[in-house]
A and B are shown apart, each in its own frame.
Chain A
Amino acid sequence: MAIFDEELSRLKEKILEMGALVENSIKDCVKSFIERDNALAENLIKRDHLVNALDVEIDEECIRLIALRQPKASDLRFITTGMKIITDLERMGDLAVNIAERALELNKEPSIKPYVDIPRMRDIAYGMTRDALDAFVNKDKRLAMDVIMRDDEIDDLKHSIISELIFLMLEDPNIICRALRIIFIAQYLERIADHATNIAEMVIYLVEGKIIRHTTISE
């Protein structure tokens, strides 16, 4: 089955290539906002089609392998996991684009305040994404569990950003438009982390054959 093994490792490389593109987008989207770098945001939006193209290409390849190779056991789990992971990655790419779009809007006006928690959220979401993909490549259950645990930090940060912005909006209604855009960004980052969590959950399935979605972590 050497040919099939080669096909599987090519599939894995493609998924990682898509993952790397999305990781970069997650990094750049917040940077374009913090550093007010419009070129970076525009560039990111322009390259989203690469992520979409890989999404389609990998999907087709998975379907082809299922039809022609009738994968079983860990091979089957790898391919079905791959198919689901790319759906999450594609959504994460879209969310990074949404953040870049908000950044372009926000960059037209003065900033409300120095942003500390947004980059922090980004760092956590980025780390979760990278580790979820590493866990996928190395079939590392422990790392996947670790990613799932980190999701709470992101939620807490988002709530503190929103409550802080609510106070600022009450003080100065002129900033409402900008504050809402920033809240959107926090929301998008939180969604990115959710998708990273999905990937980590699928890694657990890949390794153990057990679906842990919609259960508590202690199980």
Chain B
Amino acid sequence: MVRDSIKAEVKNLNFFYGNVQALKNINLDILEKRVTALIGPSGCGKTTFLRCFNRMHDLYPHNRYEGSIILKPDDIDIISPNIDPIEVRMRISMVFQKPNPFPKTIFENVAYGLRVRGISNKKVLAEVVEKSLRGAALWDEVKDRLDKPAFDLSGGQQQRLCIARALATNPEILLFDEPTSALDPIATSKIEELIVELKNNVTIIIVTHNMQQAARVSEYTAFMYLGEIIEYGKTEKIFTAPSEKLTEEYITGRFG
């Protein structure tokens, strides 16, 4: 078997909200075309960590990164100030906790990223929209009403639309920030199945509070606490025999 190759190398990453250090010396390899779950109690830094990957923190002043996140294969440091965050976000897309479609049609929601890139060729747009909607397992449900407002869709469909929108720019990494916490169990299991399917083509990092979800969808799990990675390893190892006492306490619900 071929060893998993590395998609992103996190080296000595520190992150500060003003004077508050939210991430402490994080070192970890994100493996290509694998699902990596970030788990940990509220405030442990998992969402902060996730947001580093597409430079979300740049949207606020006084936020500061230290260290590097090296994106393979071209070895660019995606948190370097010399790298344009917009370029990073083309390659690394994010899906949020609550579905957040734009107040536009279904079609335009998916086409948005391409239009921003200056693509207006109708044929190209139609092709990419269909491919992305298929990729997000939504095509069959919306193909006859692409010109309808995105808000007409159910919550689960809206979330899959957001995934389609994220897929349209053909990203290398997809970031999911608790993507099913606002969805019912059926919509949740659709999203989970989709995540497992998507990893054939894209590297996925998912933040989740639902440990069963981490167990179901991910191959690697990182447990974070107080801004640090306490334990990182194969998901099955973390959930059957974690090495660290803190991990054990957290996943068995005996924390604190």
Q: Which residues of B contact A5 (CB under 8 A)?
A: 254
Judge whether B254 and A72 touch: CB under 8 Å.
Answer: no
Interface of A is mostly: helix
Residue of A1, A70, A73, A208 near B242 (CB, 8 A) is A73
Docked CA distance A72–B241 (Å): 8
Closest residue of chain A to B255 (Cβ to Cβ) is: A1
Which residues of A (1-51) have their CB < 8 Å from a CB of B? 1, 4-5
Judge whether A73 and B240 touch: CB under 8 Å.
Answer: yes
Q: How far is the CB of B12 from chain A (nearest CB, A)?
A: 29
In which size bucket is the chain B interface?
Answer: 10 to 19
Closest residue of chain B to A1 (Cβ to Cβ) is: B253
Docked CA distance A74–B251 (Å): 10
Judge whether B240 and A209 touch: CB under 8 Å.
Answer: yes
Residue of A4, A73, A77 near B251 (CB, 8 A) is A73
Q: How far is the CB of A9 from chain B (nearest CB, A)?
A: 14
**Interface membership of A76, Cβ < 8 A:** yes
Judge whether A77 and B240 touch: CB under 8 Å.
Answer: yes
Docked CA distance A5–B129 (Å): 51
Q: Which residues of A contact B96 (CB under 8 A)?
A: none
Judge whether B253 and A4 touch: CB under 8 Å.
Answer: yes
Residue of A73, A208, A210 near B252 (CB, 8 A) is A73
Q: How far is the CB of B232 from chain A (nearest CB, A)?
A: 15
Q: How far is the CB of B221 from chain A (nearest CB, A)?
A: 11
Judge whether A77 and B212 touch: CB under 8 Å.
Answer: no
Docked CA distance A184–B251 (Å): 48
Q: How far is the CB of A104 from chain B (nearest CB, A)?
A: 46
Judge whether B248 and A73 touch: CB under 8 Å.
Answer: yes
Judge whether B212 and A1 touch: CB under 8 Å.
Answer: no
In which size bucket is the chain A interface?
Answer: 10 to 19
**Interface membership of A71, Cβ < 8 A:** yes
Q: Which residues of B contact A209 (CB under 8 A)?
A: 237, 240-241
**Interface membership of B211, Cβ < 8 A:** yes
Docked CA distance A75–B253 (Å): 10
Q: Which residues of B contact A4 (CB under 8 A)?
A: 253
Judge whether B212 and A70 touch: CB under 8 Å.
Answer: yes
Which residues of B (198-243) have their CB < 8 Å from a CB of A? 211-212, 215, 237-242
Q: How far is the CB of A78 from chain B (nearest CB, A)?
A: 10
Judge whether A71 and B241 touch: CB under 8 Å.
Answer: no
Judge whether A75 and B240 touch: CB under 8 Å.
Answer: no
Q: Which residues of A contact B240 (CB under 8 A)?
A: 72-73, 76-77, 209
Bits for A58-77, please: 1 = Cβ < 8 Å to B, else 0.
00000000000011111111
Q: Which residues of B contact A1 (CB under 8 A)?
A: 252-254
Docked CA distance A25–B226 (Å): 53
Judge whether A77 and B241 touch: CB under 8 Å.
Answer: yes
Q: How far is the CB of B39 from chain A (nearest CB, A)?
A: 11
Docked CA distance A54–B242 (Å): 31
Docked CA distance A208–B248 (Å): 13
Residue of B237, B238, B248 near A74 (CB, 8 A) is B248
Docked CA distance A75–B252 (Å): 7
Closest residue of chain B to A209 (Cβ to Cβ) is: B241
Closest residue of chain A to B248 (Cβ to Cβ) is: A73
Instruction: Give B residues with C-beta under 8 Å from A.
Output: 211-212, 215, 237-242, 247-248, 251-254
12 interchain pairs (CB within 8 A)? Answer: A4-B253, A71-B252, A72-B211, A72-B239, A72-B240, A73-B241, A73-B247, A73-B251, A74-B241, A74-B248, A75-B252, A76-B240
- Apart from A73-B239, A73-B242, A74-B248, 13 more pairs, CB < 8 Å: A1-B252, A1-B254, A71-B252, A72-B211, A73-B241, A73-B247, A73-B251, A74-B241, A74-B252, A75-B252, A76-B240, A77-B240, A77-B241
The 3 closest A-B pairs by CB, nearest first: A209-B241, A1-B253, A72-B251
